[in-house]
Structure formats: C-alpha cells, structure tokens
Amino acid sequence: MASQNKLKILNDPIYGFITIPSQRIFNIIEHPYFQRLRRISQMGLSYLVYPGAHHTRFHHALGCVHLMQKAVRILRFKGVEISEEEEEALQIAILLHDIGHGPFSHTMEHTIVEGVDHESISLLFMKELNEVFNQNLTLAIEIFTGNYPKKFMYQLITSQLDMDRLDYLKRDSFYTGTTEGNINSDRLITMLNVVNNELVLEEKAIYSVEKFLVARRLMYWQVYLHKTSLVAEQLLIRVLKRAKELTAGGTSLNASKALSYFLENKVTSESFDTETLKIFACLDDYDIVLAMKEWMNHEDFILSSLCKMVINRDLLKVKLKKKKPSSAKIEKHTTQLKEKYNLSDKEASYFVFTGEIANLAYTREKNNINILHKNGKINDVIKVSDQLNLKALSKTVTKFYICYPKSKH
C-alpha cells in the first residue's frame, strides 16, 4: 500500500496551484478510465487553426473540480447547506462529466457509435466506477442525472452557468490565444447564491454575466465554429464513415484492435454494454491518427484522399453564407469532381457537401440565468440587462456552409 499522503497539488496555467481535494478523488483520477482523457483533445481538430489548442479533456476536468471547490466554499459562506458528502459528490460529478467523450471529442458520436451521445457514455463509466469504488459514487450519479432533490447542485454541473462552461471558456481562450473568451470566472462564482433550491446570481454580477454571454457567442463564431475546424471535423467524420463502409463490404483495414471493433460492429445505445465500454475505454485520438496515417496509402481513392487531407492539413475549400447554397452550385462542383476523377454521385458526395451551423449563446426556455435583486426579487438576466444585445444573444443565428475541393485538386 502506498503512503496515504495523496493531497496532491497541481500547477495549472490558468488558476495557478490547484489541489485534489480527497483521497477518493485522487484514486478516481488514477483509474485508467480517467487517465484516458489525457489522450483526448479538448477541442478536436481546432489545433489545425490554433496551433496552441492541444489541451486535453483531462486538464479541463481538473479545472472544473477546482472551480467546484470554490463554488462550494462561497455558497457555504452564504449559509447554503452543503454536507461534506454532498461536496465530494459534486466534485466527483463534475470530474467525470466528460469522461464519455470519444476521440477528437464530438466526432465519434456521428460515426463509430450510432445515436449514443457522450453524456450517456459518461453515465455508463460512472456506474462502472461506482462498482470499482464500493458504491461511493452513488450520490454523484444522483446529482449528475438530476435526481437529487437539491436542484442547484445539478445546475452547478449542467446549466447555462455551470462549472464546465466557466472552465472551458477560460481554458480554450487561453490555449487558442483568443482573448475574447477570457471571462472572469472568479467574480461569477463569488456572486453565486441559492434561493428556493435554485442557483441565482447576485445583482452585482450583471455585467460579468453579460460579458460571459458575449464571450460565449464570440468563442463559438471565432473558435468552436471556425470554418477550418468545421471542415476538418467533417472530413474526419467522412474518413470514419468510409472506413466503416469499406469494412462492411469486406475490405480489411489496418487499425488498432479497439477501432477495428467499432468499424466492424454496429454499436447503438441498446448494444452499448459493459464489454463495449471496456473496448471504448481503449479508444483515443492516437488510434484515429495512426489509422489515418496507415489509410493515406490505401488503394481506395476516397479513404486515402480524405486521410491525406486531414493529416497534411490540405483541406477542402469551405464557404459560410447566410442562406443555403443553391443546388446549381452544388451540382457544378459535383460534376467537375466526377469528371476529373471518374466518380459516382455517391463517391463525389464525400468531397462536395453542405450543412448548417447554429450559434445560440443563451436559451431562455430552460435553466435561465436568474438574477437576485437586493429586495429579494428574482428575474431572468435578459429582463434585468440594459444591454440590447443580450436579447439578440437569445436568438439562434444559423449559417450555412458548402465544402468542395480546391481547384488545384
């Protein structure tokens, strides 16, 4: 048995020194399921645009625990009752909120697993870890799934002003170098309070909330929905789609054991069991990159071309527009490509395609950000703010894109 001194201190470039609050949390972090997050990039292929964006889900999860420690301290100071057991459960829930992410974060949800989102895989991981740690995660799971009577605890994990968002906006803006996302998470957490079991922000925080929502919107346009990251992610989705298609047709592709399993089997939410989870836990960014490096030389024109595009960052041309691209435009690019490489319509659709992206900084329907006034009244932030653009931020902005090969191809 190793020594009991496990109150580790870590150096985080954003918050300085952060501590791991308990032996149990340290043990969860040491588990291979959690260590896997070191090999999953937080922002998918965004490093093709922002070279510094190589930070991982592991890093982000630890940052969230640090913010949760702060939030609990502030709320207790204001007289909100949070037991030690609840505090640890909150820390475990936020630590594991993203554990179900696959390689390159969101890409996998559209390809190697069908209709299984990362939240449900996170829950499966939590249940598995609950077995490993003698049912000590039961309360954390209750909070994570919103089944615990203290609603504000669920809101700290997932809402429009949760610890997850407060960390990733600040962290992603730091690693990409885009200052627009640099929010004041300290001030926002310091202004938190609880009324009728719901999370509220004190009136003094109104400007910080406005900045937070504007930062979120700008980060979406500038970073998360950046057109180059967008086309890279679409190409990666198509690489895996094509690999799955070829495998189904009897072609054997060189890939790691874990990736081969997902290429060869149809995995749905019904069939995603403990065994599947074990194989999924072996999958990370490295499997995908290695596979693409192998497949660059494959005889299948589509697979090899797509892989070369991603690996060599020689991507498709992408145009963003306010309205849908015309079918004539799609037809033009498709025909050119078909003639040049003698492709069928289906094959050409791997390289010429359209889609849409939406940006919504604030949803008024659920989990509002509520402001607590000095007289005890509570209002939605939109009503309180004198900034007209907050109303605009609660409207969805949709843009359409078209991708096609650059003319030199």
- Quick one: pLDDT at residue 278? 96
Pairwise CA distance, residues 405 & 305, whole Å: 11
Pairwise CA distance, residues 76 & 332, whole Å: 63
Pairwise CA distance, residues 361 & 390, whole Å: 9
> In whole angstroms, how far apart are CA 1 and each of 4, 5, 33?
8, 12, 21
For residue 355, what are the β-bridge partners? 401
For residue 398, what are the β-bridge partners? 358
- Quick one: pLDDT at residue 359? 82
- Quick one: pLDDT at residue 364? 65
Pairwise CA distance, residues 94 & 155, whole Å: 11
pLDDT digits (tens, 9 = 90+) for 17-61: 999 999 999 999 999 999 999 999 999 999 999 999 999 999 999
Q: What is the dihedral of CA 360, 363, 364, 365, to 10 degrees?
A: 130
- Quick one: pLDDT at residue 219? 92
- The 3-class secondary structure across 158-220, one letter per residue, is CCCCCHHHHHHHHHHHHHHCCHHHCCCHHHHHHCEEEECCEEEEEHHHHHHHHHHHHHHHHHH
- Quick one: pLDDT at residue 366? 67
Amino acid at 82: I
- Quick one: pLDDT at residue 409? 46
Count other Cβ atoms within 10 Å, centred on residue 11.
Answer: 8
Cβ atoms of 61 and 68 within 8 Å: the answer is no
Pairwise CA distance, residues 338 & 156, whole Å: 52
> In whole angstroms, how far apart are CA 288 and each of 43, 117, 294, 325?
15, 19, 10, 31
Give pLDDT < 70 ranges for the chain: 1-7, 364-366, 386-390, 408-409
Q: Burial, 400: exposed, middle or buried (Cβ in 10 Å; 0-12, 13-18, 19+)?
A: middle
Phi first, then psi: give them for residue 317, nearest 5 degrees: -75, 140
- Quick one: pLDDT at residue 365? 61
Token pair 């996170």: residue: 122
